[in-house]
Amino acid sequence: MRRINFARIAVNVVLAAALPLAAGAQQMESHIGNLTGHSDAGRQLYFRYCWGCHGPHGNGMGENEPWVTPQPRNFVAAVFKCRSTPTGTLPLDSDLFNTLKRGFNFTNMPSWAALTDQNRADLVAFIKTFSPRWKSEKPGDPIQIPPEPTLTIGSIKHGQELFQKLECWKCHGQEGRGDGPSASTLTDSNDQPIRPYDFTSDNRSKCGRTNQDLYKIFMTGVDGTPMPSFADVVKPEDAWDLVHFLRTLQYNNPSPELTMWEGTPEGKAIVAAKRVKQTYTGSGVKP
Chain residues binding other proteins by CB under 8 A are 1, 4, 9, 12-13, 16-17, 41, 44, 47-49, 51-53, 63-64, 67-68, 103-118, 201-202, 204, 282-285
* Residue 90 contact, options ligand HEC, other proteins, none, Cβ 5-8 Å cut-off depending on partner type: none
Which residues inside 110-169 make contact with ligand HEC, applying CB under 6 A? Answer: 112, 123, 127, 166-168
Show the DSSP H helices in the chain as ranges.
6-22, 39-49, 51-54, 93-102, 117-127, 133-136, 153-165, 168-172, 211-220, 236-249, 256-262, 265-274
Residue among 222, 34, 100, 241 at smallest CA distance from 157: 241
Closest C-alpha to 76, from 125, 137, 133: 133
Largest CA distance in the chain: 80
147 touches, from ligand HEC, other proteins, none (C-beta below 5 to 8 Å by class):
none
Q: How far is the CB of 172 from ligand HEC (least distance, A)?
A: 6
Residues 192, 183: Cα–Cα separation, whole Å: 13
Nearer to other proteins, 122 or 238 (CB): 122
Q: Smaller CB distance to other proteins: residue 21 or 269?
A: 21
Mask: binding to ligand HEC, 88-107, rule CB under 6 A, as x and -? --------x--xx---x--x
**Computed from CA positions of residues 127, 132, 134, 140, in that sequence, does the dihedral angle turn out positive or negative?**
negative
Amino acid identity for residue 199 in this structure: F
Residue 23-52 contact track with ligand HEC, rule CB under 6 A, x = bound: --------------------------xx-x
Q: Which residues contact 124 (CB under 8 A, 6 or more apart)?
A: 30, 32, 37, 42, 93, 96, 97, 100
3 state DSSP class of 229? coil
Query: Can you point out the beta strands (E) in 86-139?
Result: none
Question: Residue 151 class from Cβ within 10 Å (0-12 exposed, 13-18 middle, 19+ buried)?
Answer: buried
Q: Whose Cβ is closer to other proteins: residue 118's or residue 255's?
A: 118
- Decide: 246 and 219 in contact? Cβ < 8 Å: no
Query: In the complex, what is the shortest distance from the CB of residue 239 to ligand HEC, in angstroms, rounded to a whole number?
Result: 9
Q: 127 vs 258, which CB is nearer to ligand HEC? A: 127
When CB distances are held under 5 to 8 angstroms depending on the partner's kind, the choice from other proteins, ligand HEC, none that residue 243 binds is: none
The residue (of 182 and 253) whose beta carbon lies closer to other proteins is 253
Count CB-CB contacts under 10 A for residue 116.
10
**Identified binder of ligand HEC from the candidate list 196, 200, 239, 250, rule CB under 6 A:** 196
CA atoms 258, 273, 194, 233: torsion sign: negative
Q: Which does 31 bind (CB under 5 to 8 A by kind): other proteins, ligand HEC, none?
A: none
Chain residues binding ligand HEC by CB under 6 A are 49-50, 52-54, 64, 68, 70, 72-73, 80-82, 96, 99-100, 104, 107-109, 112, 123, 127, 166-168, 170-172, 182, 186, 194, 196-197, 205-207, 214, 217-218, 222, 225-227, 230, 242, 246
